[in-house]
Chains A and B, each alone.
Chain A
């Protein structure tokens, strides 16, 4: 079946190229064709896929196992599959000191914090802060309140270190719990985090002088399709507003590699690429051509001269791996409660930001090697359940940490595709940027600001309606 899909892609690519040259105004037609193409996709069991199942067009994969986020799209065959495997191995294999780990770091492999390309249970909850096993599976962004650079520290707190070095500090997380109730009287609770940095290796910074933003790992679902998104469609979404619900999203614009462009990846859409190079450098302490200096350069623990520890070619393989990952198909799409939940999702206006259907454009994403073009990702109708825009989520979720055009209260709409499988893949249901929501219900009830209208509607629903909406989320 893979070979057949490869042939479809080749034909699609040829026709797409032809159309783009001959009929520049006919992109919507191409999208229409890709929808028709979706109708012909078969599951791994040989059944014709239900269109409602298809999360990501030809990149949809039909598995609900622990590998649901870590399965290559069907088009990754032959040499492409070999490159996928190469990137997967580089992603998962622990870095050791001889190939660049440290001296200070956050995780020892991409896969330490993203097991199965997902979201490793943050040590915030298993260890009450920084972990003990060589990774913490969250990032602590630091900045001083007065805007001055923090001497001896960088953008991120490196709370792990190789033997002979000291972690820059350790994060301690404590939570207070408060009980609330829905309009029908059923109770629910929310936990509010309280963060503190302890064990500073150098200057101790007073909590009142410091802004901390804690971010748990994002699931690496659909990253290639995200990079291939039709930017015009995103700009159209950004031009819309729903004043009756106080909803008005905006794009983040950032400068990456000297180019001012739309940011897409990261909790605040603060990056225009998939941060492979940044991840190796900042998260693991592995130097590269783009980031040749250790992250602790100029600080008390600067180890001095060192070679480049990972090549751009290897990192491009990781980039390829990420962009080739499939998106799990939806499950139980014909179940009555799931279908009812989808209607309620719209009734609660969740769909205004968690937009169900988007399209990838005609321009393929280019990997960080500057050469590889991901044609396979173009011309697809996809269902990410996100507008990839920034929305003000209120003071409840604000972190006072602006990035690009994103203010402290603004966050990128989380793509919901695959979210129903997080528990199977990673064993937990912590959501939101710092994982404070312990389940879907809590995540919804944390929505403030532009999400407040939806929160109120959900709060007013009956228990049965809320349950149906949650079943819909589990089907994603």
Chain B
């Protein structure tokens, strides 16, 4: 009898406590959207945001490799500066891709290959002090993920936020730069091809993909666009839409809780990403722009298509306005942190304000899940 009474009491408590938690997450009492046709949204997301961003990164990475080749042939300060500029131009689309790190970037390990952080400075310096021939093949097959990619190149090009003085760059460092930018170019082309498929490649791209034995068929983008159809790992269009939103939520969380909060909490400047070039805050702002591009139909504001934001606006205009505002507030708050981030980890007010803006953006994005059901 006592057991029965206790059980009843517990159940009553649970029912009481949980009774109100069901619909609370649904903004403004909207009912979830069932059976919506997301075809156009998915197509524009894939073509105008994802593939467009990766195509830009791929093109810039080719130019980066060419700039380094030019610097190798003629190691002047001007040519070194051109490499540094081109690093930034290649870096930006990568950071603008971080709202869609799912798929090939994860499956093929390309995220760590391109952007492993922290950099293993100690090991990198040993490699530079060694006598192993520094070829692209050696970097690709003989060194691990932490000794290639954007930050290895950054370390070789920048110092204390400045372009290195050409006198500081040794011939062996130039060899490493040449090898590692070649590998980065190949990785960027690979990522683009894995999303967009094997058609439409120029002769050089085709040659590189064949050398690397990459097979992409119609590409992950085709599978994403065809969610709900046979051959796609996404059983329903809604699963792909959920993935799109999750990608945005993940990068919001990553910027706020890891990229900013990590160094801010530990006060360890060595944990600040992109600290050699002092590019950290630009990285973070581009991360948030990747959310904007993902939701608003494209990476080029002049050529945007049908974004998920249009549907959000149709169903709940205030939520769309909230998201749009919180994206801009987050970008502005990050921009308010004094440069360089690595030297201003004590800027409590500005940093906590940026973190709060990212938390707010994350909460807005979570509401989209509830809106779409």
Residue B144 is within 8 A (CB to CB) of chain A in the complex: yes
Give A296 to B51 CA distance when docked, in angstroms.
45
Closest B residue to A19 by CB, please name it.
B6
Give A5 to B140 CA distance when docked, in angstroms.
48
Residue B70 is within 8 A (CB to CB) of chain A in the complex: no
Give A133 to B111 CA distance when docked, in angstroms.
12
Q: Secondary structure at chain A's binding surface: helix, strand, loop or mixed?
A: loop
List B15-36 residues whose CB lies under 8 Å from chain A. Answer: 15, 17-26, 32
Residues of B within 8 A of A240 (CB): none
What are 27 A-B contacts defined by CB distance under 8 Å? A1-B24, A1-B25, A4-B21, A5-B21, A11-B13, A40-B15, A40-B19, A45-B370, A46-B23, A46-B26, A63-B242, A64-B242, A65-B242, A65-B243, A89-B258, A94-B117, A94-B118, A96-B123, A97-B123, A108-B145, A120-B109, A121-B109, A163-B123, A163-B127, A423-B233, A424-B239, A427-B107
Inter-chain contact total with CB atoms closer than 8 Å:
160
Residue A413 is within 8 A (CB to CB) of chain B in the complex: no
Residue A134 is within 8 A (CB to CB) of chain B in the complex: yes
Q: A33 to B112, Cβ gap below 8 A?
A: no
Number of residues from A at the complex interface, CB < 8 A: 59
Residue B282 is within 8 A (CB to CB) of chain A in the complex: no
Residues of A within 8 A of B15 (CB): 40
Give A424 to B107 CA distance when docked, in angstroms.
9
Residue A93 is within 8 A (CB to CB) of chain B in the complex: yes
Residue A466 is within 8 A (CB to CB) of chain B in the complex: no
Best-buried of A45, A108, A116 by chain B (most CB within 10 Å): A45
Residues of A within 8 A of B257 (CB): 85
Residue A15 is within 8 A (CB to CB) of chain B in the complex: yes
Residue A417 is within 8 A (CB to CB) of chain B in the complex: no
Q: B145 to A94, Cβ gap below 8 A?
A: yes
Q: A94 to B146, Cβ gap below 8 A?
A: yes
Q: Which of B7, B13, B120, B142 contacts A96 (CB 8 A)?
A: B120
Closest 9 CB pairs of A and B: A134-B144, A427-B107, A96-B120, A65-B246, A66-B102, A40-B18, A46-B26, A132-B141, A42-B22
Q: B109 to A108, Cβ gap below 8 A?
A: no
Q: A115 to B235, Cβ gap below 8 A?
A: no
Residue B316 is within 8 A (CB to CB) of chain A in the complex: no
Query: Do A93 and B118 form a contact, CB below 8 Å, given A36-B11, A63-B242, A85-B257?
Result: yes
Closest B residue to A429 by CB, please name it.
B233
List A35-85 residues whose CB lies under 8 Å from chain B. Answer: 36-37, 40-42, 44-48, 63-67, 85
Best-buried of B15, B23, B120, B123 by chain A (most CB within 10 Å): B120
Q: Which of A66, A112, A331 contacts B243 (CB 8 A)?
A: A66
Give A424 to B239 CA distance when docked, in angstroms.
10
Give A12 to B7 CA distance when docked, in angstroms.
11
Chain B: minimal CB distance from A44 (Å): 5
Q: A133 to B373, Cβ gap below 8 A?
A: no
Q: Which of A8, A44, A423 contacts B17 (CB 8 A)?
A: A8
Query: Do A11 and B10 form a contact, CB below 8 Å, given A1-B24, A45-B373, A47-B373?
Result: yes
Give A112 to B145 CA distance when docked, in angstroms.
10
Q: B369 to A135, Cβ gap below 8 A?
A: no
Give A121 to B25 CA distance when docked, in angstroms.
36
Chain A: minimal CB distance from B368 (Å): 10
Q: A40 to B145, Cβ gap below 8 A?
A: no
What string of 1s and 0s marks CB contacts (under 8 Å) between B119-160 and chain A?
Answer: 111110011001000000000111111110000000000000
Q: Secondary structure at chain B's binding surface: helix, strand, loop or mixed?
A: helix
Give A4 to B25 CA distance when docked, in angstroms.
13
Residues of B within 8 A of A160 (CB): 144
Q: Which of B25, B104, B112, B142 contacts A44 (CB 8 A)?
A: B25
Q: Which of A93, A116, A133 contacts B145 (CB 8 A)?
A: A133
Residue B262 is within 8 A (CB to CB) of chain A in the complex: yes
Closest B residue to A335 by CB, please name it.
B235
Q: A94 to B116, Cβ gap below 8 A?
A: yes
Give A424 to B113 CA distance when docked, in angstroms.
20
Best-buried of A135, A163, A474 by chain B (most CB within 10 Å): A163
Residues of B within 8 A of A121 (CB): 107-109
Residue B3 is within 8 A (CB to CB) of chain A in the complex: yes
Q: A133 to B109, Cβ gap below 8 A?
A: yes
Give A280 to B137 CA distance when docked, in angstroms.
29
Q: B262 to A89, Cβ gap below 8 A?
A: yes
Q: B120 to A97, Cβ gap below 8 A?
A: yes
Q: B14 to A116, Cβ gap below 8 A?
A: no
Give A423 to B102 CA distance when docked, in angstroms.
12
List B210-264 residues whose CB lies under 8 Å from chain A. Answer: 233-235, 239, 242-243, 246-247, 250, 257-258, 262
